[in-house]
Chain A
Amino acid sequence: MEQKKLAIIATKGSLDWAYPPFILGSTAAALGYEVQIFFTFYGLQLLRKNLALEVTPLGNPGMPMPMAMDKWFPVLLTALPGMQAMMTMMMKKKMAAKGVASIEDLRSLCQEAEVKFIACQMTVDLFDLDTADFIDGIEYGGAATFFEFAGETDICLYI
């Protein structure tokens, strides 16, 4: 049986949206897939050595908040200074309590399983990002690099 292939485009740079690419990538690798993740725009934040990912309740009516705040707390007040930091702290605490892996762990599990990480060169240039801030073992490329692999895949996801 030929090895199955999965390609993922990771475009988001928040704590909650950091999970799908790494969970799916590491699991697919465990199931025997060859996996590549292409990180573009805000998704490049997921490749930093020191992750500073946060989650925001602002503009997210689907986010459960403590004390059922998502039901009664005025949306505008979720923009108050400190709200994002507080929600991030609470989310991380909850994740640890529920045995959900950290992004750092899932990312290393992906790398151990030889999931290939490709960083979008154009975004790196656009935002003047310093590649020294990124983890080792990633490649830099563009859309054509992505399609070289994506065109051969069984599953291709945009996250």
Chain B
Amino acid sequence: MANFDQELDASGLNCPLPILRAKKTLAGLGAGQVLHIIATDPGSVKDFEAFAKQTGNELLESREEGGKFHFLIKKA
């Protein structure tokens, strides 16, 4: 897994909480910084793609590991 500046564990949370928490956490980061999000909601895979597309923040990585979903989002 690439480097990141902050981590957000959204395990156990369901739609739309992972997105809302990510949005809030990203607000505290500077441009170019990377947020690592961990989620268990299977819907979050498509949702983070859509989130990145609509907010302009770049989704660097999206993968599943050990039943959890990991995302790396770079703040625009």
Residues of B within 8 A of A (CB): 12-17, 19-20, 23, 40-41, 51, 54-55
CA distance A101 to B16 in the complex (A): 8
**In the complex, residue of chain B having the shortest beta-carbon distance to the beta carbon of A25:** B16
**Contact assessment for A23 and B15 in the assembled complex, using a CB-CB cutoff below 8 Å:** yes
What residues of B have a CB within 8 angstroms of the CB of A31 in the complex? 51, 54-55
Q: Is the interface of A mostly helix, strand, loop or mixed?
A: loop
Q: Is the CB of B13 within 8 A of A109?
A: no
Does A138 make an interface contact (CB < 8 A)? no
Using A99-B17, A99-B41, A101-B17 as known contacts, say yes or no to A30 and B51 having CB atoms under 8 A apart.
yes
Q: Are B16 and A99 in contact (CB under 8 A)?
A: no
A71-93: CB near B (< 8 Å → 1, else 0) gives: 00000000000000000000000
A30-B51, A31-B55, A32-B54 in contact; A101/B19 too (CB < 8 A)? Answer: no
